[in-house]
Structure 1
Amino acid sequence: MNRLADSQSPYLLQHADNPVDWWPWGTDAFEEARRRDVPVFLSIGYSACHWCHVMAHESFEDDSVGAYMNEHFVNIKVDREERPDVDAVYMEAVQAATGQGGWPMSVFLTPDAEPFYFGTYFPPSPKHGMPSFPQVLEGVRTAWTDRRAEVDEVAGKIVKDLGERSLALATSELPGEQDLAAALLGLTREYDAVRGGFGGAPKFPPSMALEFLLRHAARTGSEGALQMASDSCEAMARGGIYDQLGGGFARYSVDREWVVPHFEKMLYDNALLCRVYAHLWRATGSDLARRVALETADFMVRELRTGEGGFASALDADSEDAHGRHVEGAYYVWTPGQLRDVLGEADAGLAQAYFGVTEEGTFEEGASVLQLPQDNGTVADAGQIESIRARLLAARAERPAPGRDDKVVAAWNGLAVAALAETGAYFDRPDLIERATEAADLLVRVHLDDAARLARTSRDGRVGPHAGVLEDYADVAEGFLALASVTGEGAWLDFAGFLLDHVLTRFVGEDGTLYDTADDAEKLIRRPQDPTDTATPSGWTAAAGALLSYAAHTGSAAHREAAEGALGVVKTLGSRAPRFIGWGLAVAEAALDGPREVAVVGSASDPAARELWRTALLGTAPGAVVAFGSDGTEFPLLTDRPTPGAYVCRRFVCAAPTTDAGVLGEQVGVRGR
């Protein structure tokens, strides 16, 4: 076992018995490189990464490769999910140097942590124009020993260039109607009108852009925005990217038709998409959206929930097939013969037609990914289909399951709390609200210290060693704010306030822009700062959204001003790159609408008050906040409102109170009113 044996990270533990003498990220590793005067090889990945596993099997488990690495390098392994800051700064360097990036990320550094050579996956032998990993190692070693001055010069220039890169994006001006209309036009140009979604292959679920489209449609009545969101959601739900048996979404589709996924399932994707489908149902009443939201919520609870009440990070793409091979997708795909073995001849034929399983297969080796083709012409009794689905799901459960990364990431659990709380409220599923509350309790109990500082991860109820980054503070605050609205418990609003106070004091720069790490975080070659979305909302715009909601709840001018300051970047990027600033656009919609502040005064034991509360939660007004309870509770919105009823306000200027749920529905944009 190497130095990774004591790690909490499942990804690092996967490498603990490699012949490579891995070091965790830290000063000790760089001091060792300095003492030995050798370069550092930095390998960054994550546990559900297919090509990370491939490179590990091909190279890091090879004794001769390991021996060479140990002799000529200090080798560092990083779990990008534990250290998104380290990942971000070196990914920026990789992308600047090569024009692309990905994982596994392979970077060679000086003992001062300055990068000088980059790559991602390297094969064990040369192929497809790529050098082999042994060739790369030999080339870097030779350059280090024979051309050291050149290496130092390159490393210094890269660090200097990174340090001089300025966002130059921030403006004090909020995005307005024209900016959001321009962003919508940009999305329309990139929209795939045939298959839904945006761009070509590989195609990723556009969760943040979909939230913007739903909010824009709610605020402006844009039928085009709603149609793009609805059609994209239907295409994904019918495709192979969605697990037609167990619910939940895979990371992305390798094709533009959503047929063949990259099979890993991430908590963040499923939390974001669960919320999007719930919001789509709220806007349209779509039965498909309702089913997918609930199935995705149930998937998260069933397969990702940990024993401590939090949610695990991911399920692997790979698992063992019937021949004992560890391959991608083995758990999920079916051949016609496998269907017959489980269902018998007649039902197998129906299942083939219904789920789009073909004799030639849609994946590999004659296997198919289950889909729900729109034009399959299959007429089947709903009960029969449910019986088939249940039998296939039971049979699949007997297969070797994909591995699970069971560390709890604060930010992604915050997203899950928001999704489960709202889905539970919309569909009268108190069990989902309870699961959201338990996850929030874990975040408070384990991840928060006495100073309300947030840790990035935990595992088995033990807090991890790494500090939370901006997205952790923002997404956990977002989850707490959603939970406060759904439960009527003002304590969650207070916890959100503690976190957002840290955002204001520790993550805001002198120019008012936001950084991804706190001012007292470990100093890297560059302090990471990125307002654009990746697979999750950027910490920058997630913070803007949580600050805006908190200000709407409390009337805090400081939080409102910080939110508006952060949204200036959306004005700059919205028309240029709307797919990559989707969450910021969604928050801008809320700011333009108010957001609306809904105070429902009454008792939870009063059916009329509960009807008003539910009506308020079902409103589609972008980013509306809801407070429920009696006068004098912990919600500032309820202060000095002794009369039962609902009050709808903007910037604390209120319409006349009402006890009529129909009137309230009109005020908050409930569908059909």
Structure 2
Amino acid sequence: MATGGASSSGSRRGGKHKNRLAEEKSPYLLQHCHNPVDWYPWGEDAFKKAKKENKPIFLSVGYSTCHWCHVMERESFESEEVGKIMNEHFVNVKVDREERPDVDKVYMSFIQATSGGGGWPMSVWLTPDLKPIAGGTYFPPKDHMGRPGFSTILTRISEQWKNNKDKLIQQGNMVIDALKELSASAVDSSATLPGQESVRKCLDQLENSYDEEFGGFGHAPKFPQPVNFNFLFRVWSSMKGAPEAQRALDMAVETLRFMAKGGMYDHIGQGFHRYSTDRTWHVPHFEKMLYDQGQLAVAYCDAYQITKDPFFADIARDILLYVSRDLSDRQGGFYSAEDADSLPSPGSKTKKEGAFCVWEADEIRNLLGEKLPHYDDMTFADLFAKHYNINRSGNVAFDQDPHGELAGKNVLIVRGSMENTAKAFGLEVSQVEEVLGKCRDILFKVRRKRPPPHRDDKMITAWNGLMISGFARAAQVLGEAQYLDRAIKAAKFVRKKMYDDSTGKLLRSCYHDPEMDRVTQIANPIDGFADDYAFLIRGLLDLYEASYNEEWVEWAAQLQRKQDELFWDSEGLAYYTVSGDDPSVLIRMKEDQDGAEPSANSVSAGNLLRLASFHDDEGWRNKSVQLMTAFGARLAAIPLALPEMVSALIFHLQTPKQIIIAGNPRDRDTKALLQCVHNSFNPNKILIVADGKEHGYLYEKLKVLSTLKKVDGKATAYVCENYACSLPVNTVLELDELLSK
């Protein structure tokens, strides 16, 4: 979306132009449907036109909540002059990277290989047969300080195509060949499976980059990267008692604490912004992504489960409140994101980053004028300003606000603690908590009257899978039924709207139609990618361990078989990102890095081990080992690139515990044993309820279930390892002792 005064959906924007994107469903593509650029969506119409007219393709890739995508649109794609150059010399194609990660991955690999960096918007020039010849990310509109602007680059590439077309085509062929070799080298089927040394090396690499003062890893900008927390908590569990275990736990919980006290956390509207632009977690990039919320909900639940500190439980609840309120479709799915940019006021013409979230000191003082208890000259505003670091001139440093959008504004951040604030005002902590709660409620109601940021209401299967995990884990750890209900509603939605029963295939996405208030699909739905299967399978397994409804395990197994069929490379022994059915995607790549989202290969390594234990299936267990072995060289040299896969390796190196509870999950004694399991952090567990329905799915797959009965008519727990089960126990105390061994 442009940073000008456009409405939130391109399909509802004014303007005399209307290009082919107007018929699309993607919010990002709709944002560009009134550009004076003759945009095409990715597809045969564009490719045929390029070949027929012998023109290169200009490919622009972004997503609807991308700040610099908005900037480039406003500066270049809304320009009549630039549009004329683009239309005359190129076939112009727009791609939503979230809708088509397969296209994005191929050309981002080219950008990273040729420039050493990457990002969005991504701008790539292709031959008519889709081979890259030049590219970059954001380009300013005009030449500046010796650097060419977008118009200049367009003109130069057009001239090169006219004068040196054969050379450019040859260059494109060479680039694709090189990228294919690079992709093939990501895995090595002849490697060996690493052991505990990779776990320790990954921990060492994280520790070397740890910020002792403010938490987090590396320098600014700081990203949450929940895969790191997942790994550190599993190190703590697997090495209990060792100094490394405590160090791993401390790094994780301190980082989570700093993040939740920082400006990256939305103290008024809940949920986490995308990342912190500074070392102290103060000034965020203000967009909010569903995949962050899902993963961080799990991380904060894990932290609470381990530490029993209610602070972490409260943050998990707040994340889920935000998602339930602002990113939820009434039919059950989860929307993708909220934008960083919004109008500062209803009459404003220009959007600014963070406008929806920041505050002026005078605004705070006017809104929070109620007197503090026991004070005649102090108000709620004084206490709020102290606790959240409000300054009269704003609290954002100039170097953190290069465009001056946050001048005089305050990003809420907690520098101290409730205890510090209580001491400063001579109040009890409970009084401070009550006052701050009232203040936040007042500001929330005021903020809801501001022009809201654009919401991307595209629903992505993979990210819905991550969010199902978030709600399911919260249901387990916090024991609150509302979270289980929400996870079940989402899983049913995905099955109804994003799954084809006739083929057994997932779809990548579906869309909210605001005019009809319904969920819709595009004319030719996009098939799911490997991460859609992997993330959803994990969500379904987490959902089973919260609901004990075996239909979720059964569907997870069906999806795993389909994932194996579509994406498994029997020679390279890993999963491709794409199925290979689309000839326009020139390279079948394998994701070999865990970043903001874990890779499909890493998540699948853990899924396969869990499914193997649910089904007593050595085939899936062997496939997990083959998968991790294929990445053995990378796990040995740079395990920090794949911390989620190292987490799966920890699971493999330890003996999984099948915790089987014989009893009706609705009965009080069964519930007590199940809650005992959920009270402790046991990441290598497989939790199964043997409810006595011997014709059920799990009874057919696990013959041992038929032999494990209730003892003395009471719910009974068995802990099984290496095909041997403990003596049965009936009490929470006995089960707790078994689980702590």
TM-score between the two structures when normalised by the length of structure 2: 0.88
Task: Say yes or no: does 1:337 pair with 2:362.
Answer: yes
Counting aligned pairs with the same residue, the percent is 35
- Measure, in 1, the Cα distance between the counterparts of 2:22 and 2:286: 28
- Measure, in 1, the Cα distance between the counterparts of 2:666 and 2:50: 66
In the alignment of these two chains, the number of paired residues is: 670
- TM-superposed CA distance for 1:578, in Å, is 3.8
- Measure, in 2, the Cα distance between the counterparts of 1:423 and 1:168: 35
Report the secondary structure of 1:106's partner residue.
Answer: strand
Within the candidate set 274, 293, 297, 2:297 is matched to 274
Within the candidate set 230, 242, 260, 1:237 is matched to 260
- Measure, in 2, the Cα distance between the counterparts of 1:35 and 1:147: 19
Task: Say yes or no: does 1:29 pair with 2:46.
Answer: yes
Match in the other structure for 2:125: 108
The within-5 A match list for 1:156-167 is: 156-165=173-182, 166-167=184-185
- TM-superposed CA distance for 1:608, in Å, is 1.4
The within-5 A match list for 1:366-405 is: 366-374=408-416, 377-379=420-422, 381-405=432-456
8 Å Cα contact 2:60-2:124 kept in structure 1 = yes
Task: Say yes or no: does 1:354 pair with 2:398.
Answer: no
- TM-superposed CA distance for 1:340, in Å, is 1.5
- TM-superposed CA distance for 1:651, in Å, is 4.2
Q: What do residues 409-458 of structure 1 show as CA deviations (whole Å, max 9, x unaligned)?
A: 00000010011011023212211111111110011111111221000001
- Measure, in 1, the Cα distance between the counterparts of 2:337 and 2:577: 23
Within the candidate set 321, 326, 329, 1:303 is matched to 326
Task: Say yes or no: does 1:647 pair with 2:718.
Answer: yes
- TM-superposed CA distance for 1:287, in Å, is 1.7
- Measure, in 1, the Cα distance between the counterparts of 2:288 and 2:186: 36
- TM-superposed CA distance for 1:645, in Å, is 1.0
Report the secondary structure of 1:358's partner residue.
Answer: coil
- TM-superposed CA distance for 1:30, in Å, is 1.1
Task: Say yes or no: does 1:635 pair with 2:687.
Answer: no
Q: Which amino acid aligns with 1:202?
A: P
- Measure, in 2, the Cα distance between the counterparts of 1:457 and 1:486: 26
Match in the other structure for 2:623: 562
- TM-superposed CA distance for 1:521, in Å, is 4.2
- TM-superposed CA distance for 1:70, in Å, is 0.7
Within the candidate set 534, 557, 582, 1:474 is matched to 534
Report the secondary structure of 1:408's partner residue.
Answer: strand
Report the secondary structure of 1:378's partner residue.
Answer: helix
Match in the other structure for 1:72: 89
Report the secondary structure of 2:379's partner residue.
Answer: helix
8 Å Cα contact 1:312-1:405 kept in structure 2 = yes
Report the secondary structure of 2:166's partner residue.
Answer: helix
Judged with a 3 Å threshold, the aligned counterparts in structure 2 of structure 1 residues 623 and 83 are, in CA distance, closer, same or farther, namely farther
Report the secondary structure of 1:498's partner residue.
Answer: helix
Within the candidate set 179, 194, 219, 1:175 is matched to 194
- TM-superposed CA distance for 1:175, in Å, is 3.2
Within the candidate set 440, 453, 459, 2:505 is matched to 453
Q: Which amino acid aligns with 1:562?
A: K
8 Å Cα contact 2:591-2:601 kept in structure 1 = yes
Q: Which amino acid aligns with 2:436?
A: I
Match in the other structure for 2:280: 257
Match in the other structure for 1:595: 656
The within-5 A match list for 1:478-489 is: 478-489=538-549
- TM-superposed CA distance for 1:575, in Å, is 5.1
- TM-superposed CA distance for 1:528, in Å, is 1.7
- Measure, in 2, the Cα distance between the counterparts of 1:58 and 1:573: 42
- Measure, in 2, the Cα distance between the counterparts of 1:52 and 1:412: 22
8 Å Cα contact 1:447-1:463 kept in structure 2 = no
Report the secondary structure of 2:479's partner residue.
Answer: coil
- Measure, in 2, the Cα distance between the counterparts of 1:575 and 1:192: 24
- TM-superposed CA distance for 1:650, in Å, is 2.7
8 Å Cα contact 1:508-1:514 kept in structure 2 = yes
- TM-superposed CA distance for 1:52, in Å, is 0.4
- TM-superposed CA distance for 1:128, in Å, is 6.0
Match in the other structure for 1:99: 116
User: Structure 1, unaligned stretches of length 5 or more?
Assistant: none
Judged with a 3 Å threshold, the aligned counterparts in structure 2 of structure 1 residues 91 and 667 are, in CA distance, closer, same or farther, namely farther
- Measure, in 2, the Cα distance between the counterparts of 1:454 and 1:522: 19
Judged with a 3 Å threshold, the aligned counterparts in structure 2 of structure 1 residues 651 and 417 are, in CA distance, closer, same or farther, namely farther
Q: Which amino acid aligns with 2:250?
A: Q
- Measure, in 1, the Cα distance between the counterparts of 2:329 and 2:639: 35
Judged with a 3 Å threshold, the aligned counterparts in structure 2 of structure 1 residues 129 and 655 are, in CA distance, closer, same or farther, namely farther
- TM-superposed CA distance for 1:402, in Å, is 0.7
- TM-superposed CA distance for 1:570, in Å, is 5.2
- TM-superposed CA distance for 1:347, in Å, is 1.6
Match in the other structure for 2:338: 315
- Measure, in 2, the Cα distance between the counterparts of 1:122 and 1:569: 38
- Measure, in 1, the Cα distance between the counterparts of 2:723 and 2:339: 47
Q: Which amino acid aligns with 2:527?
A: A
Range that drifts further, 49-58 or 569-578: 569-578
- Measure, in 1, the Cα distance between the counterparts of 2:181 and 2:175: 10
- Measure, in 2, the Cα distance between the counterparts of 1:361 and 1:579: 38
Range that drifts further, 654-663 or 470-479: 654-663
Match in the other structure for 2:14: none
Report the secondary structure of 2:707's partner residue.
Answer: coil
- TM-superposed CA distance for 1:587, in Å, is 1.5
Q: Which amino acid aligns with 1:479?
A: G
- Measure, in 2, the Cα distance between the counterparts of 1:164 and 1:591: 30
Q: Which amino acid aligns with 1:359?
A: R
8 Å Cα contact 1:41-1:76 kept in structure 2 = yes
Judged with a 3 Å threshold, the aligned counterparts in structure 2 of structure 1 residues 174 and 645 are, in CA distance, closer, same or farther, namely farther
Range that drifts further, 390-399 or 660-669: 660-669
- Measure, in 2, the Cα distance between the counterparts of 1:153 and 1:82: 30
8 Å Cα contact 2:202-2:643 kept in structure 1 = no
Q: What do residues 169-219 of structure 1 show as CA deviations (whole Å, max 9, x unaligned)?
A: 435633322221111111111111111111111110020011100011011
Match in the other structure for 1:192: 211
8 Å Cα contact 1:42-1:106 kept in structure 2 = yes
Q: What do residues 529-566 of structure 1 show as CA deviations (whole Å, max 9, x unaligned)?
A: 11211211101111112111111111111111111111
Q: Which amino acid aligns with 2:594?
A: D
8 Å Cα contact 1:620-1:668 kept in structure 2 = no
Match in the other structure for 2:466: 415
- Measure, in 2, the Cα distance between the counterparts of 1:231 and 1:188: 13
Within the candidate set 289, 313, 317, 1:294 is matched to 317
User: Structure 2, unaligned stretches of length 5 or more?
Assistant: 1-17, 370-377, 397-405, 513-518
- Measure, in 1, the Cα distance between the counterparts of 2:278 and 2:188: 36
8 Å Cα contact 1:125-1:131 kept in structure 2 = yes
Report the secondary structure of 1:312's partner residue.
Answer: coil
Judged with a 3 Å threshold, the aligned counterparts in structure 2 of structure 1 residues 600 and 40 are, in CA distance, closer, same or farther, namely same
- Measure, in 2, the Cα distance between the counterparts of 1:228 and 1:290: 18
- Measure, in 2, the Cα distance between the counterparts of 1:568 and 1:350: 56
Task: Say yes or no: does 1:215 pair with 2:234.
Answer: yes
Q: Which amino acid aligns with 1:113?
A: L
- Measure, in 1, the Cα distance between the counterparts of 2:274 and 2:238: 30
- Measure, in 1, the Cα distance between the counterparts of 2:721 and 2:566: 29
- Measure, in 1, the Cα distance between the counterparts of 2:336 and 2:208: 34
8 Å Cα contact 1:2-1:22 kept in structure 2 = yes
TM-score between the two structures when normalised by the length of structure 1: 0.97
Task: Say yes or no: does 1:57 pair with 2:90.
Answer: no
8 Å Cα contact 2:186-2:631 kept in structure 1 = no
Match in the other structure for 2:668: 607
Q: What do residues 1-21 of structure 1 show as CA deviations (whole Å, max 9, x unaligned)?
A: 211111111111111111111
- TM-superposed CA distance for 1:665, in Å, is 2.3
Larger Rg: 2
The within-5 A match list for 1:123-134 is: 123-127=140-144, 130-134=147-151
- Measure, in 1, the Cα distance between the counterparts of 2:462 and 2:225: 18
- TM-superposed CA distance for 1:629, in Å, is 4.0
Report the secondary structure of 1:142's partner residue.
Answer: helix
Root-mean-square deviation (CA, aligned residues, Å) is: 1.7
8 Å Cα contact 1:455-1:463 kept in structure 2 = no
8 Å Cα contact 1:593-1:622 kept in structure 2 = no
Report the secondary structure of 2:574's partner residue.
Answer: coil
